[in-house]
Amino acid sequence: MLQKEIIIAPSLLAANFLEIGKEVEMVNHSEAGWLHLDVMDGRFVPNISFGLPVIRDIKKVSSKPLDVHLMILEPEKYAKDFRDAGADHLIIHYEVCPHLHSNLQQIRSLGMKTGVAINPHTPVSFLQDVIQDIDQVCLMSVNPGFGAQTFIPHSLVKIRELRQMIDEKKLHTLIEIDGGVNLENAADIIAAGADVLVAGNTVFSADDPHDMIKKLRAANV
């Protein structure tokens, strides 16, 4: 049986920001499929990262799709701005969207892929009625806000539940796992049903980031 194609999305939050151009070029020349960008507002999560000007500059040098993860309140106010800055995928959090279906319609109308992230405490079943409108579900396998955290084991149960939901509806929604991904757990995550692995510290702190990306991508072989 053919192995499915695994997408690695290095998270730039873990990069050396004094060498940001070089870090993006490293990803450009690697086997990574996407570049993951975490935007934090200090309100929804207890941290502040970077915003539109940084993404706009990254877009100028990145050859990979920009997978932009908004950990912010009221994402609908900024969706067009992030599209204009270069976002190819826009991930918003279930927990901040009382009108999630409307949010997804907005993102799709702007020409971006639709993404929904759910925190560790949020049941997968809450996406049952909108899953057909989501291009990718980002399951947070750590509490959002900071990198270099430990993978929450129960996330594997949630991946399997989500995989079953997607397969039963015969959809092509991708399952993206964000938090604590490394070589020790990547195979189990993929086996549970994940399609996309977000990896920050694991990639950017490696002695050979190119090789690390290659190994993560091959973890299901």
* Domain ranges within the chain, ordered by starting residue: 7-217
pLDDT of 4: 80
81 is a catalytic site residue = no
The pLDDT confidence band at residue 149, using thresholds 50, 70 and 90, is: confident
Measure the CA–CA gap between 91 and 128, rounded to whole angstroms: 17
Measure the CA–CA gap between 96 and 166, rounded to whole angstroms: 23
Per-residue pLDDT tens digits for 12-52: 999 999 999 999 999 999 999 999 999 999 999 999 999 99
38 is a catalytic site residue = yes
Measure the CA–CA gap between 68 and 91, rounded to whole angstroms: 6
CATH of domain 7-217: 3.20.20.70
pLDDT of 144: 84
In the set 38, 67, 133, 195, the catalytic residue is: 38
In the set 41, 67, 135, 178, the catalytic residue is: 178
Terminal-to-terminal C-alpha distance of the chain: 11
Question: What are the two backbone dihedrals, phi and then psi, of residue 195, each rounded to the nearest 5 degrees?
Answer: -110, -30
Q: Helix (H, G, I), strand (E, B), or coil: what is residue 101? A: helix
Nearest Cα to Cα of residue 113 among 139, 141, 79, 145: 79
Please give the model's pTM, rounded to 2 decimal places.
0.96
